[in-house]
Amino acid sequence: MNPLKITVATLLLAALAAAAGAAETPPRLTLDQAIAEGLAASHRLAELGARRDGAEAAALGAHAAKLPVASAQAGYTRTNHVEEFDLQPPGQPPRVLYPDVPDNYRTRLDLQWPIYNFGRADALERAARAEADATGLDLAAARNDLRLEITRAFWAVVTATETVRVVDESVRQMDATLDDVRNRLKVGLVAPNDVLSVEAQRARQQMLLIQARNMLEQALADLRQLIGAPPDAPVQLDAALDAQPAPAPAPDALVASAREARPDRKALEARVAGAGDRRQASLDARRPVISVGGGVNYSNPNPMIFPRVGEWNESWDASVNVSWTFWDFGRTAADIAASRAAERAAKERLADFDTSLEVEVRKRRLDLDSARAAVSAAEDSVRAATEARRVVGDRFDAGVATPTDVLDAQVALLQAGLDRTQALASVHLAQARLDRAIGR
């Protein structure tokens, strides 16, 4: 075969293999991308969005209640035949005053407009708008909650991945130690029970590796569910535990920021305002309502025309009406009492939120400081355990240390690595909880 053709075919096969490998490798997912996908796929947020739309529609309805209402009416009535009533003036032909018209047609164009109700409609509109704003802020708070859940699941996957790596590396080191001890047993340098001890420790670390891999699969399942991915979709994360977040500001500044930024606190403020507006609307229900109305009738026969004739005629009317419910056996008083209680409850709930907000922010800030300190201690432990493992390994090679000493050093190094992994993950989770506490 032509060497040029062989070269071209080889290059094509290599390109196809590379393309297939690239197609099978999923894109690396950052934390921001995971949060964006989770927010877009959340059914809970979709439900709250629908509730917000409903509250917005209710606010529009409350505003429309202050505007005129125009309606068109039409009807047909069939009556029984009646004896006509006529009148015959002297010297004139008879005149029918009430004819027999069994077919009655009526049409009307009507307009009603409550022009003044002492602010009750305005108060109800403000209350509906406050509830719509509060519902929108509930949606923002739910987004923050979901962002925290996704962040926790994301770092759980990163932590589990790092845990698998640490335990897998320890298992490989244990395999090397086991081979070394077995070789020493063959030449009579160690006792058989030393081999059994190393084998037992190796089996235990293999069990830890299996558990770590299972925890990784569970964490991946949780993350897939939160971001709306299929249960078996491959996920590759673009993150590292070593990347530390920036230091947090002082607690007082964080508390002030939380008071301004927390959407759930703003929702409580909106509901307090809405409760006050509903209380005012209940008080205004005791006052009169002034409205205007009017319409045009086009009927056959038209009852506004006398004498009655079986013909199509038009008429119009305009009116000013005053309605005042001055006694309703306590219904308005009960509404006022209920609205006052609801307003008081909303204010107390806001006060309780403010009381717990400062405590929550300060606790999250302390958790972050503790997590950072734990990372520093874990780093020192890893360095010390690594050096101890090296020294014990050298002593074991020189014949002045036992396999038990090597096992202890190896277990201490594994535990230090796991502690470091957990400490690094705690920093990221503490930062995420602090962000949630201050409304980010």
pLDDT in tens, 283-342: 888 888 889 999 999 999 888 888 888 889 999 999 998 888 888 888 888 988 998 999
Q: Is the pLDDT assigned to residue 74 strictly greater than 90?
A: yes
DSSP per-residue codes, 346-382: HHHHHHHHHHHHHHHHHHHHHHHHHHHHHHHHHHHHH
173-202: average pLDDT: 84
Query: What is the C-alpha to C-alpha distance for residues 427 and 370, in angstroms, rounded to an integer?
Result: 8
Answer yes or no: is pLDDT of 59 > 80: yes
Residue with tokens 């089996």: 203
Tell me: pLDDT of 169 over 80: yes
Kindly list the domain boundaries of the chain, sorted by start residue.
27-67+117-287+329-437, 68-116+289-323
Beta bridge partners of residue 108, listed in sequence order: 73, 297
Residue 22: predicted pLDDT: 45
Contact by Cβ (8 Å): 123, 343: no
**DSSP states of 220-288 as a string?**
HHHHHHHHT--TT---EE---TT-PPPPP--HHHHHHHHHHH-HHHHHHHHHHHHHHHHHHHHHHTTS-
pTM of the model: 0.78
Local confidence band at 273 (pLDDT 50, 70, 90 cut-offs): very high
Per the CB < 8 A criterion, the answer to whether 292 and 115 are in contact is yes
Which CATH number among 3.40.190.10, 1.20.5.510, 3.40.50.1980, 1.20.1600.10 corresponds to the domain 27-67+117-287+329-437?
1.20.1600.10
Do residues 164 and 209 lie in contact, with contact meaning Cβ atoms separated by under 8 Å?
A: yes
C-alpha to C-alpha distance for 35 and 150, rounded to whole angstroms: 6
Q: Which residue has the higher pLDDT, 13 or 401?
A: 401
In the chain, % of residues over pLDDT 90: 28
CA distances from 3 to 7, 10, 396 (A): 6, 11, 57
In this prediction, residue 24 has a pLDDT band, given cuts at 50, 70 and 90, of low
Neighbours of 165 (CB within 10 A): 13
For residue 20, pLDDT over 60 is answered with: no
Residue 261 banded pLDDT, cuts 50, 70, 90? confident
Res 180 pLDDT > 90? no
Say which residues have a Cβ less than 8 Å from residue 394's Cβ, sequence separation at least 6: none
In this prediction, residues 73-94 reach a mean pLDDT of 85
Write down the residue that tokens 């008429």 correspond to. Answer: 315
What pLDDT shows up at residue 243? 67
pLDDT band at 19 (very low <50, low <70, confident <90, very high): very low
pLDDT at residue 438 greater than cutoff 50: yes
**Which residue do the tokens 């950072």 mark?**
372
Instruction: Read off the pLDDT of residues 395-416 as tens digits, 9 standing for 90 and up.
Output: 888 877 888 888 888 888 888 8
- What pLDDT score does 4 carry? 47
Q: What is the pLDDT of residue 91?
A: 76
Mean pLDDT of 222-226: 91
Cis peptide leading into residue 89 (ω within 30°): no
**pLDDT over threshold 80, residue 174:** yes
Side chain identity at 78, as an amino acid letter?
Answer: R
pLDDT reported for residue 25: 61
Return the percent helix, strand and coil in the chain, to nearest 5.
65, 15, 20
Does pLDDT of 9 surpass 60? no
